[in-house]
Amino acid sequence: MKMPGNMQNMMKQAQAMQQKLEEQIAAIRVEASAGGGMVTVKMDGKKNVLGVKIDPEVAGDVEMLQDMVAAAFNEAAKKVDEEAQAKMGGMLGGLGLPPGMF
């Protein structure tokens, strides 16, 4: 089924915007810490962990270390979501869609 020219152009634009958005999200880099910086996690936009830094002082208390690692990971994932949402909002805002649609 052939679409009218205007619709084809809109589809091409949407695909190009989606690809650009995916590239921008993949380029996100965040860092989050817990325990006053005793555990730090670096994460990319696809939520892949790029690095973990643990202060040797906390290494002896396994339960506290586990809690801080989990908290740092969760905070990093939250930051990725926030940055990705901001990028999507900025890009989709140019489409003139009603608020709350995405």
Question: Tens place of pLDDT for every residue, the chain, 102 residues?
Answer: 566 668 888 888 889 888 998 999 999 999 999 999 999 999 999 999 999 999 999 888 899 999 999 999 999 999 999 999 998 887 666 555 555 544
Q: Taking the alpha carbons of 65, 70, 72, 73 in that order, is the dihedral positive or negative?
A: positive
DSSP 2-71: PPPHHHHHHHHHHHHHHHHHHHHHHT-EEEEEETTTTEEEEEETT--EEEEEE-GGGTT-HHHHHHHHHH
Separation of alpha carbons 2 and 26, rounded Å = 34
Q: What is the pTM of this model?
A: 0.72
> Which two three-digit tokens encode residue 20?
């650009």
List, in order of start, the domains of the chain with CATH numbers.
27-87 (3.30.1310.10)
Which amino acid, 88?
A: M
Separation of alpha carbons 11 and 31, rounded Å = 36
Phi first, then psi: what are they for 94, rounded to 5°? -75, -10
